[in-house]
């Protein structure tokens, strides 16, 4: 009997704990947005964070984009050639990258490359009481530390997703046209006929902005909320990657149902 009760207690504790954290995270986001005036007046703070979150993610994004595009080219050709429509390879590669793979895979990579670093940095700052020291010096740690990182992530993410898509289409072109020998003219012209700027490209950009907000919000919050111990920081870093990956996939499903329904 006591086992059942303690199990129920644990379950309830978990549930209320999660909702408590969600409420705290929402308040935290609101506070970050409200105190982000300063980081636009001192934009060099954001530039520094864009360097760490964006520029240093460049290599992994570009290389993965190239390989994802190349695989899409190979597999897409393999399927399309059965229906005698291998000239539609460009459409397949471009649409799948611009609509889904670009924002989603770039978001997942961004979460594990930059999100985890943000969490670890902020968590360690908290553990070594740097944030508390800032408060002692009347420097608002949310305006000075959190907001620049948040905006840097929001700015970097759409750019990285666009690079991923562009690189992927180039990879598909390399494999499809250069290696397999699909006709170059129909590869590009069919792609241009099928990809709509508003429907496909802008919606992809909107997706990547949403993912950027979600990933960096989770990353800065997990760092800020991390228990100030070595274990706490490592747990928070893991949680950032897991939570933001799941959030990206769930958000992607929701956004897709809104954007591309009935297309």
Partner 1 sequence: MMKRKALDLWVGVFVAIGLGALLFLALKVGNLATFSAAETYLVKANFDNIGGLKKRAPVKSAGVVVGRVEDIVFDTENYEATVAFSIEKRYEFPKDTSAKILTAGLLGEQYIGLAAGGDTAKLKDGDKLKITQSAVVLENLISQFMFNKAAEGNKDTK
Site of interaction with partner 1 (CB under 8 A): 44, 47-48, 50-51, 54-55, 58, 94, 98, 156, 158-160, 162-163, 165-167, 169, 188, 191-193, 195-197, 200-201, 205
Q: Comparing C-alpha atoms, which of 172, 180, 219 is closest to residue 71?
A: 172
To the nearest whole angstrom, how small is the minimum distance from the Cβ of residue 207 to partner 1?
13
Distance, in Å, from the CA atom of 4 to the CA atom of 21, rounded to the nearest integer, reads 26
Q: Which is nearer to partner 1, 44 or 257 (CB)?
A: 44
Q: Which is nearer to partner 1, 112 or 208 (CB)?
A: 208
To the nearest whole angstrom, how small is the minimum distance from the Cβ of residue 47 to partner 1?
5
Q: Which is nearer to partner 1, 15 or 55 (CB)?
A: 55
Give phi and psi for 153, each to the nearest 5.
Answer: -65, -40
Q: Which is nearer to partner 1, 127 or 201 (CB)?
A: 201
To the nearest whole angstrom, how small is the minimum distance from the Cβ of residue 263 to partner 1?
9
Q: How many residues does the chain have?
A: 263
Residues 6 or more apart whose CB falls under 8 angstroms from that of 94 comprise: 169, 172, 191, 194, 195
Q: Which is nearer to partner 1, 177 or 233 (CB)?
A: 177
Distance, in Å, from the CA atom of 145 to the CA atom of 49, rounded to the nearest integer, reads 10
To the nearest whole angstrom, how small is the minimum distance from the Cβ of residue 208 to partner 1?
10
Element spanning 40, H or E: helix 37-41
To the nearest whole angstrom, how small is the minimum distance from the Cβ of residue 106 to partner 1?
11
To the nearest whole angstrom, how small is the minimum distance from the Cβ of residue 193 to partner 1?
7
The long-range contacts involving 158-161, CB below 8 angstroms and separated by at least 24 positions, are 158/205, 158/208, 158/209, 158/212, 159/54, 160/54, 160/57, 160/58, 160/61, 160/106, 160/109, 160/110, 160/208, 161/102, 161/103, 161/106, 161/107, 161/204, 161/205, 161/207, 161/208, 161/211
Look-up of token digits 């935290």: 28
To the nearest whole angstrom, how small is the minimum distance from the Cβ of residue 200 to partner 1?
7
Q: Which is nearer to partner 1, 57 or 112 (CB)?
A: 57
| 191 alpha-carbon distance from chain centroid | 26
Residues 6 or more apart whose CB falls under 8 angstroms from that of 198 comprise: none
Q: Which is nearer to partner 1, 253 or 262 (CB)?
A: 262
* Tokens encoding 124: 């360690």
């Amino acid at each position: 009997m006591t086992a059942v009760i303690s199990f129920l207690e644990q379950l309830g504790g978990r549930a209320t704990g999660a909702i408590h954290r969600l409420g705290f995270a929402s308040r935290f986001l609101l506070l970050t947005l409200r105190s982000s005036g300063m980081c636009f007046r001192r934009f060099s703070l954001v530039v520094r964070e864009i360097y760490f979150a964006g520029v240093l993610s460049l290599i992994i994004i570009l290389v993965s984009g190239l390989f994802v595009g190349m695989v899409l080219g190979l597999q897409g050709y393999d399927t399309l050639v059965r229906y005698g429509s291998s000239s539609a390879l460009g459409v397949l590669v471009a649409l799948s990258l611009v609509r889904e793979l670009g924002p989603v895979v770039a978001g997942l990579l961004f979460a594990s490359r930059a999100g985890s670093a943000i969490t670890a940095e902020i968590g360690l700052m908290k553990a070594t009481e740097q944030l508390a020291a800032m408060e002692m010096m009347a420097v608002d740690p949310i305006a000075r530390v959190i907001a620049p990182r948040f905006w840097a992530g929001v700015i970097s993410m759409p750019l990285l997703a666009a690079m991923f898509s562009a690189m992927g289409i180039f990879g598909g072109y390399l494999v499809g046209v250069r290696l397999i020998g699909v006709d170059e003219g129909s590869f590009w012209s069919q792609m241009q006929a099928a990809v709509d700027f508003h429907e496909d490209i802008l919606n992809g950009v909107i997706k990547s902005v949403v993912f950027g907000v979600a990933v960096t919000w989770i990353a800065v919050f997990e760092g800020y909320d991390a228990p100030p111990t070595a274990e706490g920081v490592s747990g928070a870093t893991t949680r950032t990657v897991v939570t933001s990956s799941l959030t990206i996939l769930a958000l992607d499903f929701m956004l897709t149902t809104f954007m591309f329904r009935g297309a």
